[in-house]
Amino acid sequence: MDTRPPAVHIEPWTEADLELLRSANTPELMNHLGGPETEEQLLSRHRRYVELSADTTGKGRMFSIVAEADGAAVGTVGYWEQNWHGRTVYETGWTVLPAHQGRGLATAGALAVVRTARAAHRHRYLHAFPSVDNAASNGVCRNAGFSLMGECAFEYPPGHVGRSHDWRLDLWAEEDLPTDEAPSAGEDA
User: Chain centroid to CA 161: how far?
Assistant: 19
Contact 20, 64 (CB under 8 A): yes
Q: What is the pLDDT of residues 50-59, one digit of tens each?
A: 999 998 889 9
Helices and strands in the chain, H and E counts:
5, 7
Distance, CA of 109 to CA of 115 (rounded, Å):
10
Contact 90, 62 (CB under 8 A): no
pTM comes to 0.86
Q: Give the confidence band of 116 by pLDDT, cuts at 50, 70, 90.
A: very high
Give me the mean pLDDT over the 15-25 stretch: 93
Q: What is the pLDDT of residues 77-109, one digit of tens each?
A: 999 999 999 999 999 999 999 988 889 999 999
CATH topology of domain 8-170: Aminopeptidase (3.40.630)
How far CA 94 is from CA of 24, 46, 87, 91, in Å, comes to: 10, 14, 22, 11
Give me the mean pLDDT over the 103-119 stretch: 95
**pLDDT at residue 171, rounded to an integer:** 96
pLDDT at residue 188 is higher than 70 = no
Q: What is the pLDDT of residues 130-139, one digit of tens each?
A: 999 999 999 9
pLDDT at residue 31 is higher than 70 = no
Give me the mean pLDDT over the 162-176 stretch: 86
